[in-house]
Amino acid sequence: MFRRFRLPDFSPAVTSNDGGTVQHLRRWLQPGIGVKRWFLLLLLGMALLGLGVSFLARELYLSVTLPGAFYYITLQFLPYAVRGVILIGLAVFCVGFGILRFTGGLVVAARSDRRSGAEEPLVELLHRQRVAGRGIRIVCVGGGTGLSVLLRGLKAYTDNLSAVVSVADDGGSSGRLRRDLGIIPPGDLRNCIAALADAEPLMTRLFQYRFPEGSGNGLEGHSFGNLFLVAMSDVAGSMEEAIHETGRVLAVRGKILPSTLEDIRLAAMTSDGDTIRGESSITEAGRRIAQLTLEPQHPPAYPETLNAIRNADLIVVGPGSLFTSVLPNLLVPELRIALQESSAMKLYVSNVATQHGETDHFNVQDHVRVIAEHIGGTPFDGVIANSNTSARLPRGWKSQPVQVQSDDLDADAEHAEWPRIIEADVVDAGNRYRHDSTKLADAILTAYHESREAGVRPRRVQRAVPAS
């Protein structure tokens, strides 16, 4: 099995003019590159094969009575010389076209391997170029660790991935950079880039490296990837260009898109009427949230994000912190409307464990209910819920497994239009607070393909319901 595969750059498609093509042809004719001899041997073998087939065909023709149509199929109405010229011409065309397309596919794979810097078997490179590159168009909406876990699983099936990331983070390294430099927080963007990167593992580890606390050099607590994105935004001229160029450098499969470029802040009204502002403050407060809003309330959505949603075959919302990762995206008005009006299949991935202070004692239906209350209805066709909830979480986590409510919601008129719940074992056996990337991707794609095969039409809201 080849570990690395390199081919000379001989494709006419990469030449800028006729002079470049002629130069490449001359180079092919020069001695010493060790290719022409094997190409000639290939032609000799094919000629011998054709000669052997012709001997067998002649014997068959003399010993077996064939239908009259073979008179025209074998061109017997033409002289032998004309028949030979026609067959030789067809053979040259088939061989040349076949070799061109075959080597062209290898060149594309070799270039991809060179860009990514990763050592992959040739068959894996070809599979990714030909199969994953034509995969379904999936848009994943969320933030935090949950979104990066989801992306790691889905990138094995398609390269047509778009990650829509929340930009409301104001804590840690991202919050400091946001306050000091006036940029959108890079933390969740960095996590998605690392999840979708095909670069060397060492490069991915470097991108996620965090400078230790107490170093006294001003870098403590900062992630190298965050600083890299900030520097790239200054070089490229904008954060969106920085995301694009960083994705190119790290050979990212898919697109990472912010929900908005506006400087937004979360405002949460607690169940006892207090208002808490800022994502980090909401998380630290650990109080039951009655309503979440954005400040400003109507930030414009990032245009490319809207295009990705409109062109998607499948939209996946979650997993992630319900109030600080998932809802901030859905509260962007244009994004919410695009989601509600999309003709794509829409799935919500429920968390596998509750989050202390935000979703204590929540079940799967509670998560869906909160989203419905904030965006004016449930646009989802299905909800992926974890079925493996038997194990208890450590007491120190202050969390419980998120389970499906046992009541029959189909009998409740209030929930008649709620999405169907799809239960599957999607929890990480080593960390029951998180999803398993592979299990989750399998469950999502199984639900998508089964729905397509059953002819179920995705839910679509013609007139988007305004958020309450």
**pTM for the full predicted model:** 0.74
Most confident of 51-55, 208-212, 346-350: 346-350
Q: What is the pLDDT of residues 146-177, one digit of tens each?
A: 999 999 999 988 989 999 999 999 988 888 89
Most confident of 107-116, 149-158, 455-464: 149-158
Q: Where are the alpha helices (DSSP H) in 311-355?
A: 327-330, 333-341
179 domain-assigned: no
How far apart are alpha carbons 329 and 146 in whole angstroms? 14
Please tell me whether residues 147 and 117 are part of one structural domain. no
Please tell me whether residues 65 and 151 are part of one structural domain. no
184 domain-assigned: no
Candidate from 41-55, 138-152, 319-333 with smallest mean pLDDT = 41-55
269 domain-assigned: yes
Spell out where 98-238 has E strands. 138-142, 161-165
Q: What is the pLDDT of residues 217-244, one digit of tens each?
A: 678 889 999 999 999 999 999 999 999 9
Please tell me whether residues 324 and 290 are part of one structural domain. yes
Terminal Cα distance for the chain, rounded: 59
Residue type at position 370: V
210 domain-assigned: no
Domain end marker among 130, 158, 184: 130
Cβ pair 386, 401 in contact under 8 A: yes
Average pLDDT over residues 443-465: 78
9: left (phi over 0), alpha (psi -120 to 50) or beta: beta
Average pLDDT over residues 368-380: 94
254 domain-assigned: no
Residue with the larger pLDDT of the pair 333 and 464: 333
Most confident of 86-95, 183-192, 300-309: 300-309
Count structural domains, the chain.
Answer: 2
pLDDT higher than threshold 80 for residue 214: no
**What confidence score (pLDDT) does residue 328 get?**
96
308 domain-assigned: yes
Q: What is the pLDDT of residues 69-105, one digit of tens each?
A: 877 777 778 888 888 888 888 888 887 787 777 766 6
**What confidence score (pLDDT) does residue 109 get?**
53
427 domain-assigned: yes
Q: What is the mean pLDDT of the chain?
A: 82
Please tell me whether residues 351 and 444 are part of one structural domain. yes
Range of the domain at 65: 36-130
Q: What is the pLDDT of residues 391-449, one digit of tens each?
A: 777 777 788 999 998 765 444 445 556 799 999 999 998 888 899 999 999 999 999 99
